[in-house]
Amino acid sequence: MKAHTRQATPARKAARFLAAALLAAACLLPGVARAQALTLSYANFPPAPTFPCVQMERWAEEVRARTQGKVEIQTYPGSTLLGAKNMWSGVIQGQADIGCISMAYQPGVFPMMNVFEQPLGFSSATAASQALWALYAAHKPEEFSRVKVLTLFASAPSNIMCKEPVTSLDQLKGMELRGSGGASQVLELLGATPVSMPASDTPEALQKGLIKGVLSSFDWLKDFNFAEYLKYQTVTNFVVYPFAVIMNLDKWNALPDDVKAVFDGLSAEQAEWTGRYLDAHVQESLDWSREKYGIEVIELPQAELDKAEAALAVMIDAWKKSAEAKGVPADQILAEVKALRQKYDK
């Protein structure tokens, strides 16, 4: 036994070394896993409580869960990394890996997808978001070729939130109201004075008295606390605002295939989730605003709504012309969007 032990000494040393090595490796493993976890930055422009940021946190949670922690998403709400105006270029240049844009802030940049800023009669954020993703997935338009599109969604139909009661279209004449893109054109055509700015700049403009109100969806009343200042809500159900969540192309191309599959698998689902969240939240926002600030909700007579619809019809022709000039088969796209609205908007 003794001789055997003596002879086995080098082997025992080797075994001890191996055990130590294994222990060290075991201790290191969590560290290694953590070091390998990929962190991506995700920039957003409006404040954290607003729906574009709520959907961002939901997406980040889903990514963490579906990649088993392999991918960590660091979120930056409230323009802390990129603001509304430099979101598009900032993501293309890589200042943020992922960013959320409101397409209305870049008129002319998205000739095909701008069809969603036209008065098409979508009645919910859910239907508009589903249609938006479906149209994008079917065409993968050139206008987004410099980025990876992770998901798309739309606001709920837009309504007038105002310091003064708007009970007829005539009252809009010369009134300074905030809107962007398609919503801004709507205001113009109805005789108001549109003041274009990103959602994130609006609280200050209102405080300074530069505008009397806004044209956007009713989630604003609660999430920007506008119910405190804007007591009169006129239900118009005008255009929606389309959004895109975009990713830097080099960062996307460098992702492992399994992570790409997780992101792609989330796109359509995230669009629908966001629409459903917002539609429910708009209701919540109205109820909260009634309860807390006693807001007044004004319904326009049908004749007024018909008059507005007639006045806005020129927008679609204008979109067609500008889209065709950029090589978009506008009639075909319009027909597809109308079919998608029929499918999703019940």
Binding residues for ligand 3IO (CB under 6 A): 46, 50-52, 102, 104, 155, 180, 198-199, 216-217, 219-220, 241
CB of 217 to ligand 3IO, least distance (A): 5
Alpha carbons 192 and 311: distance in angstroms, whole number: 13
Nearer to ligand 3IO (CB atom), residue 41 or residue 102? 102
CB of 195 to ligand 3IO, least distance (A): 12
3-state secondary structure of 82: coil
CB of 154 to ligand 3IO, least distance (A): 9
Nearer to ligand 3IO (CB atom), residue 56 or residue 112? 56
3-state secondary structure of 179: coil
CB of 219 to ligand 3IO, least distance (A): 5
Nearer to ligand 3IO (CB atom), residue 102 or residue 237? 102
Nearer to ligand 3IO (CB atom), residue 67 or residue 106? 106
Alpha carbons 242 and 113: distance in angstroms, whole number: 8
Q: How many CA atoms lie within 13 A of 166 on its CB side?
A: 27
Nearer to ligand 3IO (CB atom), residue 143 or residue 219? 219
CB atoms within 10 A of CB 37: 13
CB of 234 to ligand 3IO, least distance (A): 16
> In which element (H, E) is residue 308 found?
helix 302-312
Nearer to ligand 3IO (CB atom), residue 91 or residue 104? 104
CB of 83 to ligand 3IO, least distance (A): 12
Q: How far from each other are the two terminal CA atoms of the chain, in whole angstroms?
A: 86
> In which element (H, E) is residue 147 found?
strand 147-154
CB of 197 to ligand 3IO, least distance (A): 8
Nearer to ligand 3IO (CB atom), residue 71 or residue 286? 286
DSSP letters of 224-287? T-GGGT--EEEEEEE---EEEEEEEHHHHHTS-HHHHHHHHHHHHHHHHHHHHHHHHHHHHHHH
Alpha carbons 100 and 30: distance in angstroms, whole number: 33
Given a contact cutoff of 8 angstroms between Cβ atoms, the answer to whether 299 and 73 are in contact is no
Cα separation values, 333 from 101, 139, 217, 330, 345, Å:
22, 9, 25, 5, 17
Nearer to ligand 3IO (CB atom), residue 141 or residue 182? 182
CB of 300 to ligand 3IO, least distance (A): 20
